[in-house]
Structure 1
Amino acid sequence: MTIFRPQQLAVSRLAVLALSLHAALPAHATDAEPVPQAKVEVHGSVDQYDARREDTSTRIVVTQEELKKYGDSTVADVLRRQPGISVSGGGPGRGGEIRMRGLGNGYTQILLNGEPAPNGFSVDSLAPELVEKIEILRVATADLSAQSIAGTINIILKRKARKGQRDLKMQAEHSNVFFSPSASLQIGDKRKDMSYSLAMDVRKGSFEQAYDQVEEGWDSAGRPVLQRRAVRQNNGGFRALSLTPRVNWTLSNGDTLSSQSFVRVQRSDSRTEGHWSATLGDLPDYPNDRTWPDDHRSQLRTDLNWMHKLGQDEKLEAKVGLNANRVRNRQHEAGYDEAERRTLDRDVHNDTDGRGVTLTGKYSVSWTTGHEFSAGWDAARQSTDVGRDSLELQGLAGTPVRDDRQYNATLHRLALYAQDEYAVTPRLSTYLGLRWETLRTRSAGSDFSAIRNDANMLSPILQSLWKLNDSKQDQLRIALSRTYRGVDLERLMPRVTRSLNNTEVTPDVSGNPALKPEQASGIDVALEHYGRHGEQASLSVYARRIGDIIHDDTRLAQGRWTTVPVNDGSARTRGVEFDAKFPLRALYARGGNIDLHMNVTRNWSSVSNVPGPDNRLAGQTPLTANVGFDDHFGATLSGGANFTFRSGGPQRISQTTSTYSTVKRELDLYALWKLTPKMQLRVTAVNLLAEPATEVTRYDDAFGGLRSTSVYPFSAILRVGLEVQL
């Protein structure tokens, strides 16, 4: 499959023009430090540089101060307070899926040090103490993957080291149903030609949660035929260790080498128990059920980066990376009849091994005239092997049935790109990027023949920044881009995960080897204001048209209900975002040291082959908002608050399936006491409103319908952390 064929000639001419400009313009010496994205102007030091204001591409940087402010347990908790980002699923302090513009599930690209996060990586498993900063990009850039229909979140692991660094943090968080102590240590040092840093985080936790599940059914005439309820209890715990070591060398010829790794080992286990009662209709096949999941996960990613200066204004960089992940999961399930006799015993072992290698290179040159050019390549190979061993016993005197299956999937990716950023005038700068990317996937298994899919994506990207007046306080951004959404390797495998009580609303889950990437064309426009007293405001709009969208389809196959992802039709999405931050004294002379911030995002979407209303795209969150403040009460005491709102409502998934979720409101407070110059205490209260969450799944066809409603209670969390410089 080749995308953008009619436009390839025109875009290729643009690329040739950019290369011609590079060759024709004279080189002027500059000693600017290399950065992920070209910069037009540099004012002061790197630490003082305001990337959001000065970069031609829209870039929001989450700094170390924001990462630490609320003492969050995961990066996901930090991100839910950022403009245009929401977190679905999970609970406060327990992460969830990251969504930009209300879209997750592959629409939001997650990068680790500028490269796609490896299979098995989860943002809610990453502690903020391991992170240097986070970049949020609303529009794609050619040097990063174009797999970013909603946007990109680039997580930069710890890099900086100061001489004799020894920082220790000890923290505990507690609620009615959750307790987790943790400790993190950061060490680092510098020498003449070498520096190193190591960030380590270790934590454990235990939880217990009771929740209710109700199932209601009706026949083709709409008459009630089913009313039953389950009371469920879920108890468990986890243990995790994470490391991010980094070493930097300066060689005798001026070249630099840097090595950075990310290691995580986690084990979790739990026990879930449910008991059904019925007031109308039958009980499920197993009125009493128990599940004992046991999960072992380990992840490794390591990169070696080399940088060579070709001259004062030219650089060549190359990086090789390796990654591996291993999952050993055991799911032991048992079903009992009303007399508590065991009528089902199922023991499933899922072993997943992933391996990957990446090779990237980049040539860049810059001139003092405000013109920067770079070009490079990005190649990767990723493979996943899955083994599923199942032993099942049905009935009081049944015969054990063994079902062993093997699956594997491989992804090859090759990308070439060029980008040119030029300050046309002091008030107008442009960015022109072109990225060609080819994807080849192959999946095979013991129960199906090998299936191969090839896709070629040509992604032209045009961005412009226009400062509207001489004071440079107001500026306009316009961007056009072509992006795509790839397919997770594990979704290409038709491995079936069986549900215990199989129904239309609790189906089995399977992959689909025939899935193709989605492609999107989009436009972004933003108007920004920067005041003299530090105030900042932005109003932006966006629109995307997406083809070959993927949605879940629930169907009856071989006597069991199964959900399978399929490509089906197209979709449109659009939205408006507003965010602002400013010191209160900019409005009120006696505002003191109070800083205010607020943001709100409204998203709309529709899917062509899903009937409306509420046929939103991929569970898109319609409305998200944050408002809060920070106050410096004195030299040793500061604090603040943040209120988060995320809308819910009904959504149509397919012709037969729909969902509903409640509104989510969270109120967080924090306080920081500087006890000594090298010791401080941070106290945070999370989710003080403690509102329960309701999730509904509904299935309707010509024969009737079934609805499942689950209500999850949440409680407030108290975090206390002590931070010490040793």
Structure 2
Amino acid sequence: MHVHAAESETPIQIEVRGSATQYDARREDTSTRIVVTQEEIRKYGDGTLADVLKRQPGISISGGAAGRGGEIRMRGLGAGYTQILLNGTPAPGNFTLDSLAPELVEKIEIQRAATADLSAQAIAGSINIILKRKVQSAQRELKLRAEHSNVFFSPGATLQMSDKAERMSYTVGAEVRNGRFEQAYEQLEDGWDGAGRQVLQRKVARQNNGSFRSLSLTPRINWTLRNGDTLSWQSFVRSQRSHSQSEGTWSATPAEALPAYPFDRSRPEDQRSQLRTDLTWNRTLEQGQKLEAKFGLDAGRQRSREHDAGYGQARQPRLDRDVRNANDGRGATSTGKYSETYESGHQFSAGWDVAQQSSEVARDSLETLDPGAAPTPEQRRYDATLRRLAVYAQDEWSITPRWSTYLGLRWESRRSRSAGSDFGAIGNATNVLSPIIQSLWKLPDSKQDQLRLALSRTYRGEDLERLMPRVTRSLNNSQVAPDRTGNPALQPELAWGIDAALERYGSDGAQMSVAVYARRISNYIHDDTKQVQGRWLALPVNDGRAQSRGIEFDAKFPLRSLLPTVDKVDMRFNLTRNWSSVSNVPGPDNRLASQTPLTANAGLDYRFNASVSGGANFTYRSGGPQRLSASTSSYSSVKRELDMYALWKLAPRAQLRVTAVNLLAEPATEVTRYTDSGGSLRNTAVYPFSAILRLTLELQL
């Protein structure tokens, strides 16, 4: 900006500085969201995004070893209740958070309530992973990492490069990783007859070992055209290879209670490749209106082989099964948005969202049941297609400086079709209309306090794998280790939900919030286990209604706000308590989808001096018993994790980050039980976990 004191005087140049990072989306946006910044993502030097997310309010990680990923759960719910987005678009079906290094991510948006411009497939909420977009001139950053525990070792490296030209800029990230692991654990099976007398006890000692290697690329190129339009091309490419071996040795009382194969061996091999690419066009019209269109393609290729062998008590061969699977997936997406801001305070937008996903599966097996017997070949072919069409409109209205509302309406149609060599074509069609209302009210006579309220309709739709009625067979088939199949007749779960939060924001980044939520769900989906042609089979079915509710507390603050003499310490604490019940599953403990009842985090960061900083975080996740259906139940143990990190700035362009993960190294216990009029069978597995030491050398080249 230039200001002239007089026509003959030299112009005085005034520089006005501002930064988008000063905008606090969590505080100012009408739609509720938590933004995990690049600083938070990098702080602990995490190996997976799951470890980044486990410290966030309302999020827990189920399954997986510490430092090696797991299922992401919001409000204790995963398995399709939590929507995972990649750059605002639903992630491909075979995408996992383990496949993306934290260094390749710019930020993560956690949305408790739905918005109309994103898919409403988010009963628990959405996690939107934004790949690197920001471009810095001539940036070259290299990270060398090594992870080690007594059962796991994995070296790796990431490289981030970016640069700018007159009308073009680019950024590209790459990660290579290698690893090997070994783990020993035990499973115990107990059986009782209909009168409650114990009739069997058998135990299997298992030894697993294997290795993997992977390569990930995330290139992005931005162009500014001569007419002012912008084009952005961004891709995610990943290739992974893995193989492992699992051996189990059974013992039993009485001896005749041994399973069909007292000694078993499984050798799976897996090769996966994945591509996701998007081209985005933006134009600003003369009156300030904006147009955006995005076109995307994704493709996945998986080749796997599993060689299963079963042996008798004298180690004589009794089963030899060689299964080869080929899975090819393809998809295309198209989204568009028109947006306009009015002087009356309205920010209106409308658009479309179209997608198609298809999967072709080939399964070839060769099975020999007895030595000398002729092998039995089997070939099966499956294909499935899922089409999604959605249109939406939304309006964010600043009614007064202290009160704003968000109104959204999304109509989404889903059409699926599956066919196979052993079943005819089956189609399914559903339509979901999702009205969404959100409101933000900054309380009178206060610069710190504000109240949020949201009402929404969301749904949970199954992926293609769960819609295909192909059978995956277990080796020692039983009530607690059944075969599994999909169900093309599944209808999506539908939910009405309400969210409310009271928030307080102080100085120096201090913030505190108390949030509550409730969901009422119809068409609840759970697995039904039953005998089919002499084998136990688990099939997903729609069955009744469910309810979920909870409360969440979250606080961050510098310790000097409580103790003025203590400087350089930042504190954080969050706690979430969840409750749920399912109408057609007898109680008690008839919770939704293995919902985690209680999660908590407590952490601190300390700046020793300009060169050294560090911190620690304690994570708690409760377990307990759960009824899954009228005949099946489960139990999981409490999970406690303590992580610590230290960062040394060795030179202006080099620093060393040391992280200790899961220092408590507590084992995990998982129990599955099946009960009917004939008796019950219980499977108990105890998995030992170990602490992980991670070293990361970060270099600015």
Q: Give the secondary structure class of the aligned counterpart of 1:491.
A: helix
Q: In structure 1, how many angstroms separate the alpha carbons of the residues matched to 2:156 and 2:699?
A: 14
1:74/1:127 contact within 8 Å kept: yes
Alignment match of 1:544 (pick from 514, 519, 526) = 519
Three-state SS of the structure 1 residue aligned to 2:20 is coil
- Alignment of 1:104 with 2:78, yes or no, is yes
Match in the other structure for 2:159: 185
CA contact (8 A) 1:313 1:367 kept: no
The residue that corresponds to 1:464 in the other structure is 439
Partner of 2:3: none
- Cα distance in 1 for partners of 2:18, 2:638 equals 44
Residue among 325, 333, 340 paired with 1:365? 340
The match for 1:317 is: 292
Q: Secondary structure at the match of 2:489?
A: coil
Superposed displacement of residue 369, structure 1: 5.0
| CA distance in 2: counterparts of 1:103 and 1:471, whole angstroms | 35
d(CA) in 1 for partners of 2:445 and 2:373?
83
Out of 535, 538, 541, the residue aligned to residue 510 of structure 2 is 535
TM-score normalised by L of structure 1: 0.93
Letter in 2 for 1:569: G
Distance 1:521 1:471 in 2: 32
Q: Where in structure 2 are the equivalents of 1:629-668 lying within 5 Å?
A: 629-668=604-643
Match of 1:125 in 2: 99
* 1:11 corresponding residue in structure 2: none
Tell me the SS of whatever aligns to 2:552.
strand
In the alignment, the residues of structure 1 paired with residue 105 and residue 605 of structure 2 have an alpha-carbon distance, to the nearest angstrom, of 22
Between the aligned partners of 1:589 and 1:302, the Cα distance in structure 2 is: 51
Deviation of the 1:397 alpha carbon = 2.5
Deviations 1:470-521 (A, max 9, x none): 4420000010000001111110111111111001001111111111111000
Q: Counterpart in 1 of 2:361?
A: 386
Amino acid at match of 2:75: R
Q: Does 1:377 align with 2:352?
A: yes
Identity, % of aligned pairs? 70
Deviations 1:47-96 (A, max 9, x none): 11000000001110001111111111111111111000001000111100
Match of 1:517 among 481, 485, 492: 492
Match of 2:381 in 1: 406
Q: 3-state DSSP class of the match of 1:397?
A: coil
Q: Output aligned runs, 1:690-709, within 5 Å.
A: 690-709=665-684
Deviation string for 1:656-701 (max 9, x for gaps)?
0000000000000000001111100000000000000000000000
- The corresponding residue for 1:248 is 222
Deviations 1:430-484 (A, max 9, x none): 0000001111111111111111111111100000000003442000001000000
Equivalences for 1:212-227 in 2 at 5 Å?
212-227=186-201
Task: Extract unaligned runs of 5+ from structure 1.
Answer: 1-42
Q: Secondary structure at the match of 2:22?
A: coil
Instruction: Letter of the 1:61 partner, please give it.
Output: V
Write the distance in 2 (CA, Å) between the matches of 1:313 and 1:637. Answer: 47
Counterpart for residue 268 of structure 1: 242
- Paired residue for 1:475? 450
| Alpha-carbon distance between aligned partners in 2 of 1:554 and 1:590, rounded to the nearest angstrom | 61
1:326-337 equivalent positions in 2, closer than 5 A: 326-337=301-312
Shift, 1:607, TM fit: 0.5
**Deviations 1:620-646, CA, capped at 9 Å, x for gaps:** 000000000001111000000000000
Which position in structure 1 is the counterpart of 2:204?
230
Deviations, residues 417-441 of structure 1 (Å, cap 9, x unaligned): 0000011001000000000111111
2 CA distance for matches of 1:313 and 1:45?
A: 22
Task: State the partner residue of 2:402.
Answer: 427
Q: C-alpha deviations, 1:534-560, integer Å up to 9, x for none? A: 210000100000000110111100110
CA distance in 2: counterparts of 1:514 and 1:408, whole angstroms: 15
Alignment of 1:78 onto 2:52: yes
Q: Post-superposition shift, 1:125?
A: 1.9
Distance 2:611 2:149 in 1: 28
Match of 1:571 in 2: 546
Residue among 168, 171, 175 paired with 1:201: 175
Give the deviation of 1:720 after TM superposition: 0.3
Amino acid at match of 1:189: D
Partner amino acid for 1:414? L
CA contact (8 A) 1:119 1:325 kept: no
**Residues 271-308 of structure 1: CA deviation (Å, up to 9, x unaligned):** 00010111235111000000000000110000000001
Write the letter of the residue equivalent to 1:305: T
- The reply to whether residue 345 of structure 1 matches residue 293 of structure 2 is no
Deviation of the 1:370 alpha carbon = 3.5
Match of 1:210 among 169, 184, 187: 184
SS at match of 1:230: strand
> 1:130 offset after TM fit, Å?
1.0
Corresponding residue for 1:3? none
**CA offset at residue 119 of structure 1?**
1.6
1:645 partner amino acid: Y
d(CA) in 2 for partners of 1:597 and 1:368? 40
Which segment is superposed worse, 109-118 or 364-373?
A: 364-373
Cα distance in 1, alignment partners of residues 496 and 550 from structure 2: 15
Q: Distance in 1 between matches of 2:280 and 2:434?
A: 26
Q: Greater CA deviation, 257-266 or 273-282?
A: 273-282
Q: Report the residue type matching 1:430 in the other structure.
A: T
Which residue is 1:614 aligned to? 589
Q: Which residue of 2 aligns with 1:716?
A: 691
What's the C-alpha RMSD, in Å, of the aligned pairs? 1.0
In structure 1, the partner of 2:656 is 681
For residues 549-628 of structure 1, what are the structure 2 equivalents within 5 Å? 549-628=524-603
Specify the code of the residue in structure 2 equivalent to 1:66: E
- The SS at the match of 1:47 is helix
For the residues of structure 2 that align with 1:676 and 1:371, how far apart are their CA atoms? 50
Task: State the shift of 1:591 in Å.
Answer: 1.7
Partner of 1:18: none
Is 1:283 matched with 2:258?
A: yes
Secondary structure of the corresponding residue to residue 47 of structure 2: coil
Give a deviation string over 1:226-249, Cα, whole Å, max 9, x none.
Answer: 011111100001000000000000
Instruction: Give, in whole Å, the separation in 2 of the partners of 1:470 and 1:323.
Output: 51
Corresponding letter in the other structure for 1:693: A
CA deviation profile, 1:14-58 (whole Å, cap 9, x unmatched): xxxxxxxxxxxxxxxxxxxxxxxxxxxxx9531110000000011
Instruction: Give the equivalent residue in structure 1 for 2:142.
Output: 168
Q: Which amino acid in 1 is paired with 2:301?
A: R
Q: Give the AA of the match of 1:708.
A: N
Match of 1:59 among 29, 33, 50: 33
Aligned to 2:700: 725
Q: For 2:466 and 2:377, how far apart are their aligned partners in 1? A: 24
Q: Distance in 2 between matches of 1:461 and 1:448?
A: 40
Which one of 272, 280, 283 corresponds to residue 308 of structure 1? 283
- Counterpart residue number, 2:267: 292
Correspondence 1:94 to 2:64: no
Q: Quote the Cα distance in structure 1 between the aligned partners of 2:657 and 2:509.
A: 26
Corresponding residue for 1:25? none
Question: Could you give the per-residue CA deviations for residues 602-626 of structure 1, whole angstroms, max 9, x where no partner exists?
Answer: 0000001100011000110000000
Look up the equivalent residue of 1:409 and give its one-letter code.
A
Counterpart of 1:162 in structure 2: which amino acid?
Q
Deviations 1:171-194 (A, max 9, x none): 000000000001000011001100
Partners of 1:200 and 1:470 lie apart in 2 by: 50
Q: Equivalents in 2 of 1:266, 1:108: separation in Å?
A: 25
Partner secondary structure for residue 487 of structure 1: coil
Amino acid at match of 1:411: L
